[in-house]
Structure 1
């Protein structure tokens, strides 16, 4: 059976950030930690070895696959900073057009630094992602 790699852990968020190699990336991580905490209203938790997540939801797909995931999150990676928002939300796509300098994959949005983006749009993305996931996966 498939085992989810990204599970909530009891590892220290601050401990993880302190181990980030680049001082600039560490500083960005602390800024994002404050911004995500304040905007989401959730306490930061580690998900897997490298994702800082906020809140959680339980999903179940038609295929029967199910699990838990953070509502929103980020990870200060070596190359770029990964931001995690809900996928499949058309409002997300519209907000990304206003975000500023970024690239995106299926689930991640990648930025180099906070100065490259509009922080107010980032706050809207955080709130919209939480709203979308709460509506899509209401708590049982």
Structure 2
């Protein structure tokens, strides 16, 4: 598919805005389900700092909800990033983006940046790296 630069910019702006709104309005259980389906349990649980996907799967089934503020923040930020990329490039690309060294993050891996930090501290950096990737 070929896009003109202006068309691509408009589409990306719409996707970016939609990802922002979805991250604010989608319940944590639905976010967990989306991440499991889109980027997979291993990438999602690693980015969230979980030992495995059992807790994430429980959230997606509505059995429990994330209780820690830090985990809830990481979940929302991960959802926003994955949603924006998956809507334009697909879930496989979103998972690859999260697992790959990123020059916008001083060659750190996005999922590790999110995993080892408070989401509020790294939100700007991760969103800027995501936007740079999307705008190509």
Q: Of Structure 1 and Structure 2, which has the larger fraction of its residues in helix? A: 2
For the superposition of Structure 1 and Structure 2, which TM-score range results when normalised by the shorter chain? 0.3 to 0.5
> TM-score, with normalisation over the residues of structure 1?
0.31
Q: Of Structure 1 and Structure 2, which has the larger fraction of its residues in strand? A: 1
> TM-score, with normalisation over the residues of structure 2?
0.32
Q: Which has the higher contact order (CA 8 A, sep 6+)?
A: 2
